């Protein structure tokens, strides 16, 4: 990164963060012909949806098992734009919510006509009484009649109570869907956000309800393929942002793959960028913006002193070393003093206005609460004994049965997943073969299942073996009678402590724009109308890219008007 500006006709945009939001923003700007550079503090791309390297096992896992829906159209369109072969990279299944012991089962049959698939699936749902089925259908119908709109202050539990949903129905249908999409329990979760997800899935037809499973690790799914078409700097945390007459410069710290600090040429200062998109977590955005706001305070204070000094220097000097008390001189002195006071007052007013504009955003960035998600991957001596790719587990936290979803990874993960494996043929020539380990290279990891535990805050700091033993006991207890879990060869537990924000009612989430001209936000935590899901991240990235383009269009139009 040279400190010399790149004097090209296209604007220079810096993107801080190479998660799904940041990469989506960079890609959209690149498609428009703009020069973008992405700065990522980690060595791996994808943000919270990334691959996790397990060196001691010579293994690649995901930092958490992710599931997408057919309603996630922005993600699917983005992957196609990049050149990803969706049939190769993803496994698409009709909606199915089934427990291992078949106690509860909801399955959409693709053989039925499209409009009838979901209603017939609800009618054939097993594990609920006829009364509960009718109650479920009525609640969904009432929500649809209301255009999927509810009072913003409602929790999911409050809405369920008004719809008289039975405890069994909540446990087997509503609670699993809520915790899977919002990572927030029904007693605390925003019904408005939940209704938005239901609208775009259950309310949009059977295809929108399809379950989509990545068949490669999350970084290889599309972030690494896209990175070959962008300028991406990994191991490059952004320490600060400075506003300049030409835009913004970033101060970058360098790390090696072992997280060791490295020396950086030019003190880590980049050339000026015309705009910056912050696509990092809220806490990092707050740190960078709070420092930028503080710099504004210092600059304003310096400006007050500088302008007052200039004004004083412009006053006429007296010829006599001893001032002569002439009435006119007192008048001039008072006038100069009043002018300085007015100058300081105006500058302080501007400073207060800047603080009033920036303070609400900084407060929003600090107001988020977070919930953890844990993923336990278990390696078996033989294939998992049931045929489906995923199952719903019955949660009982009184028994430490915390698992909610079981994924039979051996049924859908590619056995030879590697970097670039899902790139379409046109781009395959540019894809370098991966020298990183994959699970297919080790027979011990051939048969694997993953159990997902959402809202896993209580597990942070708990002994991993204890967690694994309890969850494995849960799985064994919910298998059909006479079906045994194969011998366990080992396990890996990954806990993402700040996996998602707590999706509570009336949560104020920032827009893509900020009070700083040329500085924008992107992330699933911005105001997308979705909870913290992958589709929301991509929507936010696309929105940030559009906001950048709109701001430049408006500036160009204003300049043209001024010249005319």
Q: What is the reported pTM?
A: 0.84
Do 140 and 112 lie in a common domain?
Answer: yes
Can you give the pLDDT at residue 431?
Answer: 33
Question: Is the same domain home to 385 and 468?
Answer: yes
User: Tokens 């104020």 identify what position?
Assistant: 508
Domain identity same for 387 and 489: yes
Three-state DSSP state, 346? helix
> Which tens digit of pLDDT belongs to each residue from 538-560?
999 999 999 999 999 998 888 88
> 């001596």: which residue's tokens?
381
What DSSP string runs through 80-146?
HHHTB-HHHHEEEE--EEE-TTSSSEEE--TTS-HHHHHHHHHHT-BSS-HHHHHHHHHHHHHHHHT
In CATH, what number is assigned to the domain containing residue 390? 3.90.660.10
Write down the pLDDT at residue 452. Answer: 97
**Residue 354 belongs to a domain:** no
SS (H, E, C) 301-332: HHHHHHHHHHHHHCCCCCCCCCCCCCHHHHHH
Strand, helix or coil for residue 199? helix
Owner of token pair 């100058």: 343
Note whether 123 and 108 are same-domain residues: yes
- Residues of the domain holding 132: 95-209
The verdict on 229 and 153 lying in the same domain is no
* 44 and 74 within one domain: yes
pLDDT per residue over 312-349, tens digit each?
444 444 444 444 444 445 555 555 565 555 545 554 54
Residue 378 belongs to a domain: yes
Torsion angle, alpha carbons of 85, 90, 91, 97, to 10: -150
Q: What is the pLDDT of residues 262-281, one digit of tens each?
A: 555 556 888 899 999 999 99
Does 310 reside within a domain?
A: no
Mean pLDDT by 10 residues, the chain (564 residues): 48 96 97 95 93 88 91 95 94 93 88 75 89 93 94 98 96 95 97 95 85 94 93 95 93 70 64 95 96 70 46 45 46 57 51 74 95 97 96 95 96 64 36 40 79 97 96 97 96 95 97 96 97 96 97 89 82
Quick one: pLDDT at residue 483? 97
User: Is residue 340 a part of any domain in this protein?
Assistant: no
CA distance 6 to 447: 51
Distance CA 272, CA 336 (A): 39
Answer with the one of 481, 501, 521 that is the final residue of a domain. 501
Closest by Cα among 97, 78, 320 to 221? 78
Q: 489 and 526, same structural domain? A: no
Considering the domain boundaries, does residue 546 fall inside one? yes
Last residue within a domain, chosen from 479, 501, 523: 501
What local confidence, expressed as pLDDT, does residue 211 receive? 94
Tell whether 477 and 525 lie within a shared domain: no
Question: Do 275 and 544 contact (CB within 8 A), yes or no?
Answer: no
Give the 3-state secondary structure percentages of the chain, helix then strand then coil, rounded to 5.
Answer: 45, 20, 35
From first CA to last CA, the distance across the chain in angstroms is 38
Same domain for 177 and 108: yes
Q: Which three-class secondary structure string do you get for 204-223?
A: HCCHHHCEEEECCCHHHHCH
Domain count across the chain: 3
Q: Which residue has the tokens 């010399």?
A: 4
| DSSP line for 513-564 | B-SSTTEEE-STTSS-SS-SSHHHHHHHHHHHHHHHHHHHHHHHHHHHHHH-
425 within some domain: no
Based on the fold, state whether residues 20 and 99 are members of the same structural domain: no
Q: In terms of Cα–Cα distance, which of 25, 47, 62 is closest to 230? A: 25
Q: What is the predicted pLDDT for the residue at 353?
A: 52
Are residues 300 and 273 part of one domain? Answer: yes
State the pLDDT at residue 562. 85
Structure-derived torsion over alpha carbons of residues 33, 34, 39, 44, reported in degrees to the nearest 10: -10
Q: Is residue 3 part of a domain?
A: no
The CATH number linked to 28 is 3.50.50.60
Query: 148 and 218: one domain?
Result: no
3-state secondary structure of 161: helix
Boundary (domain end) residue, out of 209, 227, 242:
209
Cα 28 from Cα 34, distance rounded (Å): 9
**Is 350 a domain residue?**
no
């Amino acid at each position: 990164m040279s400190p010399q500006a790149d004097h090209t006709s296209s604007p220079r945009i810096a993107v801080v963060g190479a998660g799904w939001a940041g990469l989506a923003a960079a890609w959209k700007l690149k498609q428009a012909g703009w020069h973008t550079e992405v700065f990522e503090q980690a060595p791996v791309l994808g943000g919270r949806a990334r691959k996790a390297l397990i060196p001691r096992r010579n293994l690649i896992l995901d930092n958490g098992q992710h599931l997408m829906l057919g309603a996630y159209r922005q993600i699917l369109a983005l992957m196609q734009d990049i050149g990803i072969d969706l049939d190769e990279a993803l496994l698409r299944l009709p909606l199915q919510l089934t427990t291992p012991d078949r106690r509860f089962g909801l399955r959409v049959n693709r053989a039925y006509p499209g409009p009838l698939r979901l209603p017939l699936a609800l009618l054939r749902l097993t594990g609920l009484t006829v009364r509960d089925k009718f109650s479920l259908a009525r609640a969904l119908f009432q929500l649809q009649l209301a255009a999927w709109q509810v009072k913003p202050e409602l929790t999911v539990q409050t809405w369920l109570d008004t719809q008289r949903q039975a405890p069994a129905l909540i446990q087997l249908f509503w609670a699993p869907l809520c915790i899977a999409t919002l990572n927030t329990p029904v007693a605390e979760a925003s019904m408005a956000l939940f209704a938005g997800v239901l609208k775009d899935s259950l309310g949009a037809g059977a295809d929108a309800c399809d379950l989509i499973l990545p068949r490669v690790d999350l970084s290889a799914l599309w972030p690494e393929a896209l990175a070959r078409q962008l300028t991406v700097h990994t191991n490059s945390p952004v320490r600060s942002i400075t506003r300049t007459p030409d835009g913004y410069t970033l101060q970058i710290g360098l790390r090696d793959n072992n997280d060791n600090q490295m020396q950086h040429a030019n003190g880590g200062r980049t050339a000026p960028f015309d705009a910056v998109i912050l696509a990092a977590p809220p806490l990092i955005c707050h740190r960078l913006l709070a420092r930028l706001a503080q710099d504004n305070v210092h600059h304003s204070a310096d400006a007050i002193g500088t302008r007052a000094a200039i004004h004083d220097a412009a006053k006429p000097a007296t010829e006599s070393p001893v001032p002569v008390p002439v009435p006119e001189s007192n008048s001039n002195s008072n006038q100069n003093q009043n002018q300085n006071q007015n100058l300081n007052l105006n500058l302080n007013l501007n400073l207060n206005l800047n603080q009033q504009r920036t303070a609400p955003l900084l407060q929003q960035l600090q107001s988020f609460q977070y919930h953890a998600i844990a993923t336990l991957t278990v390696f078996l001596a033989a294939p998992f004994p049931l045929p489906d790719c995923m199952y719903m587990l019955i949660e009982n936290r009184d028994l430490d049965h915390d698992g909610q979803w079981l994924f039979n990874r051996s049924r859908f993960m590619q056995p030879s997943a590697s970097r670039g494996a899902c790139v379409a043929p046109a781009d395959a020539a540019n894809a370098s073969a991966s020298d990183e380990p994959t699970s297919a290279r080790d027979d011990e990891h051939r048969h694997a299942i993953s159990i997902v535990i959402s809202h896993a805050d209580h597990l942070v700091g708990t002994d991993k073996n204890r967690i694994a033993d309890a969850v494995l006991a849960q799985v064994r207890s919910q298998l059909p009678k006479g079906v045994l879990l194969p011998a366990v060869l080992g396990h890996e537990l990954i806990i993402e402590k700040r996996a998602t924000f707590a999706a509570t009612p009336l949560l104020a989430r920032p827009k893509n724009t900020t009070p700083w001209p040329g500085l924008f936000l992107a992330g699933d935590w911005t105001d997308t109308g979705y909870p913290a899901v992958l589709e929301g991240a991509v929507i936010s990235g696309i929105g940030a890219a559009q906001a950048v383009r709109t701001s430049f269009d408006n500036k160009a139009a204003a300049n043209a008007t001024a010249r005319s």
